[in-house]
Amino acid sequence: MDFNEFDFPEVLEDARWRDPRKFSHGYFVSDVVGIFGWYRTTDELFDTFVDAQPAAYASRSEPGIDRMTEALEGIRSHVKRPVNLTEKLRREINDALGDNADLEWWGTFDDLLKGSGEFEIDLRGWFRESQVDSDDVDEMESDADPSRPIEPFEVEEFIEYLKDYGH
């Protein structure tokens, strides 16, 4: 994809609004605010991230963009296809991003629904806390583990929660 034709923040923002049931590969990246992005394939996710992320910061005149771009392109040059979204690769990308951003999570929507990673567990807990009125906090504490997998009846609200998470 030739990203020279796009408004980079818009490319990233569009990915935020996609339905993760159809675009099941995602990431969460943060700087001052955070944003989820959703894609059909790991290759699409990776290439969009590598192309658009530095450009989003360049549009804000952030320092170190040339170094970030060069480092991300170096990573792209050695990644095998289809891209395997490993923890090692995520750390490598974070090193390339430097102080500009933090790729906090990547994986599948299914991982968020029932995965055992720290980010996934915490996110489900925060989602459930957001669904409880402040008067019902004591009741929630006595309920089952708030970080348990998302139930089918919760999926729609969870998707809506993800759209605004980090903002």
State pLDDT tens for residues 44-81: 999 999 998 887 776 666 667 889 999 999 999 999 99
pLDDT average, residue stretch 136-154 = 75
Q: How confident is the model at residue 146, as a pLDDT? A: 81
Share of the chain above pLDDT 90, in %: 66
> What is the spatial distance between Cα 90 and Cα 103, in angstroms, rounded to a whole number?
7
Q: How confident is the model at residue 136, as a pLDDT? A: 55
C-beta pairs of 139-143 under 8 Å, 24+ apart in sequence: none
Q: How confident is the model at residue 160, as a pLDDT? A: 97
Q: How confident is the model at residue 2, as a pLDDT? A: 42
Cα 16 to the chain's mean position, in Å? 9
- Print burial letters for 118-155: b (CB count within 10 Å at least 16), e (below 16): eebbebbeebbeeeeeeeeeeeeeeeeebbebbeeebe
The model's confidence at residue 5, banded by pLDDT at 50, 70 and 90, is very low
Number of helical H runs and strand E runs in the chain: 8, 3
25-30 and 102-108 as β-strands: parallel, antiparallel, unpaired? antiparallel
C-alpha distances in angstroms, 127 versus 13, 123, 132, 142, 149? Answer: 21, 6, 9, 17, 11
> What is the spatial distance between Cα 73 and Cα 75, in angstroms, rounded to a whole number?
5
Q: Domain-by-domain residue ranges, the chain?
A: 3-164
Pair 71, 96: CB distance under 8 Å: yes
The model's confidence at residue 7, banded by pLDDT at 50, 70 and 90, is low
> Taking 80 as the threshold, does the pLDDT of residue 21 lie above it?
yes
25-30 and 34-39 as β-strands: parallel, antiparallel, unpaired? antiparallel
Q: How confident is the model at residue 77, as a pLDDT? A: 97
Whole-model pTM?
Answer: 0.87
